[in-house]
Amino acid sequence: MEDGNLEIFKLENTEPLILKPLNESLKAGGYGSFPSAALDFPDDSIDFLKLLVKDPITTFPGRISGDSLKDIGVLDGDWCLIQKGIEAEPNDIVAAIIENQFFIKRFKPKYDENNQLQELKLKSENPDFSHFEINDETEFFLWGVVTWTFRNWRKL
């Protein structure tokens, strides 16, 4: 068993965070790459809060500790946004309370032919960490769905 790996915070400010995009599109691929997503904002500005948070009342920032999801690029010290009140879909990253500790894991349900939940696994994405097999005896609560993760690439 591992220690919990998620610290939850509350959004204190829901004022718009307006940034002006570059006039030049940023290409991440080779010739013929798709245009920048900034072109989707015709007024030449992006409200980052509106882009990232669909419902400020049910969205919570969290700080991740540990490397149980490192093989999918979620690392120790990354930040995430978690939205409560939306249904988890297979392969979503979810925040769950298991045995009174917060964790983030990959949501892996298995359904029978009648679309009834047959088994539920909360999967790590690192072979050094175990998965959680959720059953009737497991103290478990699905707290929310991770909608975004963030990493600081350079400390300023």
Per-residue model confidence as pLDDT tens for the chain (156 residues): 355 677 887 877 777 767 666 565 556 655 555 555 555 555 567 787 888 888 988 999 999 999 999 999 999 999 999 999 999 999 999 999 998 888 999 999 999 999 888 999 999 999 999 999 999 899 999 999 999 999 988 887
CA separation for the pair 44, 139 (Å, rounded): 48
CA separation for the pair 81, 84 (Å, rounded): 10
The reply to whether 124 belongs to the active site is no
The reply to whether 25 belongs to the active site is no
What's at 68, amino acid-wise?
Answer: S
Superfamily of domain 6-11+54-150: Umud Fragment, subunit A (2.10.109.10)
Which one from 10, 105, 121, 130 is the annotated catalytic residue? 105
Which one from 25, 27, 33, 68 is the annotated catalytic residue? 68
